[in-house]
Amino acid sequence: MMPIEKLESFREEFLILQEKVSDSSLMSDAREYRKLMRRYKELSGILSAWDKYQDIQKQIQEAKTMHDNENDPEIVAMAKEEMNTQTEALEVAELELRDLLIPNDPNDEKNAIIEIRAGTGGEEAALFVADLYRMYSYYAEQKGWKKQIIDMNETGLGGFKEVVMLLSGENAYGQMRFESGVHRVQRVPVTESSGRIHTSAVTVAVFPEAEDIDMEISDNDLRIDVYRSSGNGGQSVNTTDSAVRITHVPTGLVVTCQDEKSQIKNKAKAMKVMRSKLLDLQISKQEQEIASSRKAQVSTGDRSAKIRTYNFPQSRVTDHRINLTSYNLDGFLVGNIDEFVQSLRMAWKNEKVNE
C-alpha cells in the first residue's frame, strides 16, 4: 500500500517551498537556500513519480472497465493485454516511488575525496595502492567525473605510499562512499622469487568534499608547518619549503600536501582535505551511533573493517559485506566496478527501508 496521506502532504509542502525558493531575499543565506533547494528538488522527483503511479492506476481501471463491459472479443482481448502491460508498469513505478521515499543523504551530491594508503605488506601494498588509484581513475573517466591529484607519495618501484585525489562530478560521493575500508590483496609479489602468494592490505577512505559553509574551522585550532618536498623526481623536490602539513589540534587530524610547487596552492589543497575530514568525522560518529543500536551491513563508519579481497591466482574479487563475487579481476581493475558500487548502494537503501 502506498502512503497516500503522506504523499499528498508532500504536495502541500512542495507548493509552500515553490513560493519560498522564488523569494530572492532568501538567497542571502546560502546555507538555508541550498537546504530549501535540495528539499524542493527531492519533493519534485517524488511527486512526479507519484503522479506517474496514479496515472498508470487510472489506465488500468479504464482498461478493466472496457474489459468488463465490452462484448466484442477483440476489444476484450486488447483490454486484457493493456491491463497486463499496465500492471507490470505499475510494479516498476511503485519500486521507483518507494526508492525515492527513502530519505537522501544530502552529502551524496558532493564531490568525493579519495585517500588510498599502503597498509601491511611493504612494497607490495604500495604497488596495490597504484592499482587501486588506476582503478578509480578509470571508473571516474567512465562516469565523466573530473580527477584532481591533491597529494601523492611515490616509492621506488612504481607504487605509492599514499594517493589523495578529488573526484568532481554528479553524485561522486554517493557512488564512492562505500569504498571506504580495508582492501586486501592476495598475489605473488614481483619481488618474490619463490612464487609464494603474499597477503597485503591497503586502506581507502572516502570523504565528501566540504565547502566553507559546511565546516567552519577556527584558525586557533590549526597548526601549520612547512617543509621541503620529498619523493621521486620533480623540479621542486628538496629545493623549496613548498610542502604543507596542517594539524587540527582538537582532533589530532593531520593533512599533508606537497603535490604543487607553490606553498599557497598546497595549503589551499590541504585545507580542502581538512574540512572534508572534519565533516566526515561528524558523519562517522553519526553512523557509529546508529550501528550501536543495530547491526549495519553496509557502512562507512568503520574504516578498519576488511571490506574486499582481490585474489589474483583465482582472478577473484569478493566484497565481504554483501557476499558478492566476480571472477573478472582484470576487468574490475580497469574500472568495471559499477556492479559492486550499485549493489552496495542497493543494500544500503534496503537497510534504510528496514529502519
For position 309, what pLDDT does the model report? 97
For position 298, what pLDDT does the model report? 56
Q: Cα(54)–Cα(44) distance, rounded to whole angstroms? A: 15
Report residue 215 as a C-alpha cell. 565546516
For position 217, what pLDDT does the model report? 81
Domain ranges of the chain: 4-101, 106-354
Nearest to 36 by CA among 23, 48, 53: 23
Contact 152, 174 (CB under 8 A): no
User: Over its length of 355 residues, how does the chain's per-residue pLDDT go in tens digits?
Assistant: 667 888 888 999 999 998 888 887 777 777 788 888 888 988 999 999 999 999 999 999 999 999 998 888 899 899 999 999 999 999 989 888 887 887 667 788 889 999 999 998 888 999 999 999 999 999 999 999 999 998 898 987 889 999 999 999 988 999 999 999 999 999 988 766 667 888 999 999 998 888 755 667 888 888 988 887 765 544 444 456 788 888 998 888 888 888 778 888 888 888 888 888 888 887 777 666 545 544 455 555 455 679 999 999 999 999 999 999 999 999 999 999 999 999 998 888 777 755 5
For position 192, what pLDDT does the model report? 67
For position 2, what pLDDT does the model report? 65
Burial 183-213 (b: 16+ CB within 10 A, else e): bbbebebeeeeeeeebebbbbbbbbbbbbee
What DSSP line would sit under 260-311, residue for residue?
SS-HHHHHHHHHHHHHHHHHHHHHHHHHHHHHHHS--SS-SS-TTSEEEEEE
The sign of the dihedral angle between the CA atoms of 286, 287, 292, 293 is positive
Q: Which CATH class is domain 106-354?
A: alpha beta
For position 233, what pLDDT does the model report? 44
